[in-house]
Amino acid sequence: MGTDRLRGRVAFITGVAKTNGIGFATAKVFAEEGAALAIADISDHVHERAAELRAEGCVVSSHTADLTKNDQVRAIVAEALDEHGRIDLLVNNAGMVICGESEAHISFQDLDESDWDFGIGISLKSQFLVTRSVVPHMIERGYGRIVNVSSVTGPLVANMQDSVYCAAKAGVLGMTRGLAMDVAKHGITANAVGPGWIATGSQADGEDIGGMNTPLGRSAFPEEIGKAILFLASDDASYMTGQLLVVDGGNTIQEYKGPSDLYY
């Protein structure tokens, strides 16, 4: 049961095609809290997610676009504004991989320019383009809550064969902080969430072992990230801006990360 923390708000959420992803989990949490939704993804499966939300009584529109293309982003933001009249809350979740595809892991020395451009485009440029299209409307209304999905990977830690993702997600945090400074006087906050190991459809083989070796002994559920995003998007976080909220089961605070029976 929700507590109507988002009653009367309209939220635009990207990356909502996967049934077991952070985006759809966030959309469900927002719907439970009373928000109307505009959900977007490059995949047509976003329309299926909208139908599922609508069946639960949510007011929702769904939109497809390549979020690395400015003209397509502007078009779906315009569609959402026509449908709902405004956008109060923005969650930039899309990134890392396209629905139905697997993430490429390439050592830095083997990257070519197209690998770099793709990784930066899908995880950083997409967030810039969506935010740049939405922010003027928030400024006009004098209110907004922006939550960008970053990661602990990049801002705090790194993995092998992941330098593009690290760069993009560190860039998300830097962009969030710069954005927060520019829009604060307009009644808008901008924060980022930093997930650790998450049991989503994008979790690669072996990553569940990483989750098992966190202090809490498991990967997070997508809805746990959704609830952290909800907090940052609600007025409960009205005096927070430019911050990274880490949700990683304590993984980044521990020095030893091997099997607990060998140390603890």
CATH number at residue 147: 3.40.50.720
Band (29; pLDDT cuts 50, 70, 90): very high
Evaluate whether residue 114 is within a structural domain. yes
Contact 24, 51 (CB under 8 A): no
Query: Residue 99 pLDDT more than 80?
Result: no
Query: Residue 87 pLDDT more than 70?
Result: yes
Evaluate whether residue 262 is within a structural domain. no
Evaluate whether residue 4 is within a structural domain. no
Beta bridge partners of residue 92, listed in sequence order:
148
**Per-residue model confidence (pLDDT) at position 15:** 97
Mean confidence (pLDDT) of the chain: 93
Evaluate whether residue 201 is within a structural domain. yes
Residues 246-256: pLDDT tens digits?
999 999 999 98
Closest to 29 in 3D by CA, of 236, 223, 237: 223
Evaluate whether residue 263 is within a structural domain. no
Evaluate whether residue 258 is within a structural domain. no
Closest to 88 in 3D by CA, of 31, 134, 127, 40: 134
Evaluate whether residue 84 is within a structural domain. yes
Band (79; pLDDT cuts 50, 70, 90): very high
**Per-residue model confidence (pLDDT) at position 104:** 75
Residue 86: helix, strand or coil by DSSP?
Answer: coil
Say how many domains are in the chain. Answer: 1
Query: Residue 234 pLDDT more than 90?
Result: yes
**Per-residue model confidence (pLDDT) at position 207:** 73
Evaluate whether residue 5 is within a structural domain. no
**Residues in the chain, how many?**
264
**Per-residue model confidence (pLDDT) at position 204:** 63
**Annotation says 239 is catalytic:** no
Q: Which domain holds residue 125?
A: 10-250
Contact 45, 69 (CB under 8 A): no
Residue from 143, 165, 239, 264 carrying the catalytic annotation: 165
Residues 108-167: pLDDT tens digits?
999 999 999 999 999 999 999 999 999 999 999 999 999 999 999 999 999 999 999 999
For the entire predicted model, the pTM comes to 0.94
CA gyration radius, the chain: 18
